[in-house]
Amino acid sequence: MSTRFKSILIISDIEGSSCCWNYRASSFMTKAWRRACVGMTQDVNQVVKGLFDAGVEHIIVKDFHRTGYNIIPERIDPRAQVISGYRLGPVPGMGDLKDAEAIMFLGMHAASGTEGFLAHTLTSRISRLEVNGKPMPEVEFFSASLAPHGLRPIFFSGCPVACHQAQEAIRMINVYPIDKTTGSQDFDADSWQAGLVTAAVESLNNLSTEPYTPAGPFNAVITMRDGELTAQKISRRWGFRHQGTRIFIDTDDIHQLYRDLIRLCYLTPLIEKMIPYWLLLYDLWGRIGLAWVRRGVKRNF
Ligand SMILES: [Zn+2]
């Protein structure tokens, strides 16, 4: 089978993967998370194998949940390159993506303040994130951050609400949902994974999407879950406007908006100044978590 895309970036999250069924399973160092890491790894590996079988030549897998250390790299087909943890640039968090042509999003979730499974945007500390009056899911920020490098978003998997939001933003993107309303007992992971692989491979022929570059201006309203004091502290820290529990960010450029939101969600001005050192520490934290996952996996799986 000949395909259009030969080099794929997979961005992988845990909430919409096959063994994450509650908030604990997305939380660092819980037993449920360990199981979810195994499921996420299997989902990704099945897709990786399917893509290579279909003629893809190069695959980068970027682990993009929490510490960035959830996928067990040695359980991924060695032909793929797994990037754990976070890199400073050239693309925020992702590092150098070399010749990747298209993006596939696996295990994703819906935007903050919407009905989807474990819905959030960047952090669960935000209870609602609206840009120009509409909830904005992560797929838009991640796709936009990769657009200057020419990457086209072609495939998305997550809960049905998340899939719908992805299609609203990126109209011709292929999607494959995971329904989490029934609970894990009635879920057939093997047949779901087989469907995921088929859908991902089909999306290699999706020539309809373009690199995602939404036009500004952008007026973001961010509602903080922890209340007014938190909103006040964060907005003073970064010079954002705020009112009650809401913080306002106005930019002309999606990249600036994404940078400001990364600051708001994850950083302080001090941490930003020391970011290479802070990333090393964060990386260490992630590696400790993954070592713990590996120990449990040896015993239980
Ligand atoms: Zn996540």
Domain spans in the chain, listed from the N-terminal domain onward: 7-111+138-212+275-300
How far is ligand 1, taken at its centre, from the CA of residue 135, in Å?
17
- Checking if the pLDDT of 300 tops 70, the result is no
How far is ligand 1, taken at its centre, from the CA of residue 124, in Å?
10
How far is ligand 1, taken at its centre, from the CA of residue 108, in Å?
7
How far is ligand 1, taken at its centre, from the CA of residue 123, in Å?
9
pLDDT in tens, 183-194: 898 899 999 999
- Checking if the pLDDT of 1 tops 50, the result is no
Cα–Cα distance between 12 and 55 in angstroms, integer?
A: 21
How far is ligand 1, taken at its centre, from the CA of residue 2, in Å?
33
How far is ligand 1, taken at its centre, from the CA of residue 61, in Å?
15
The contacts of residue 128 (CB under 8 Å, 6+ apart) are 112, 113, 135, 221, 222, 223
pLDDT in tens, 147-179: 999 999 999 999 999 999 999 999 999 999 999
pLDDT in tens, 61-120: 999 999 999 999 999 999 999 999 998 877 888 888 878 999 999 999 999 999 999 999
CATH topology of domain 7-111+138-212+275-300: Rossmann fold (3.40.50)
How far is ligand 1, taken at its centre, from the CA of residue 84, in Å?
14
CA diameter of the chain: 57
Cα–Cα distance between 26 and 17 in angstroms, integer?
A: 10
Cα–Cα distance between 161 and 5 in angstroms, integer?
A: 27
How far is ligand 1, taken at its centre, from the CA of residue 215, in Å?
27
How far is ligand 1, taken at its centre, from the CA of residue 13, in Å?
5
More confident residue, 96 or 289: 289
How far is ligand 1, taken at its centre, from the CA of residue 145, in Å?
18
Closest CA to 104 of 54, 39, 151: 151
How far is ligand 1, taken at its centre, from the CA of residue 120, in Å?
9
The contacts of residue 15 (CB under 8 Å, 6+ apart) are 26, 65, 107, 108, 109, 117, 118, 158, 159
Q: Can you give the pTM of this predicted structure?
A: 0.95
Strand, coil or helix: 199: helix
pLDDT in tens, 211-267: 999 999 999 999 999 999 999 999 999 999 999 999 999 999 999 999 999 999 999
How far is ligand 1, taken at its centre, from the CA of residue 225, in Å?
18
How far is ligand 1, taken at its centre, from the CA of residue 252, in Å?
27
How far is ligand 1, taken at its centre, from the CA of residue 293, in Å?
17
How far is ligand 1, taken at its centre, from the CA of residue 131, in Å?
21
The pocket of ion ligand 1, defined by CB under 5 A, consists of: 13, 15, 65
> Which DSSP string corresponds to 90-113?
SBTBTB--TT--EEEEEEE---TT
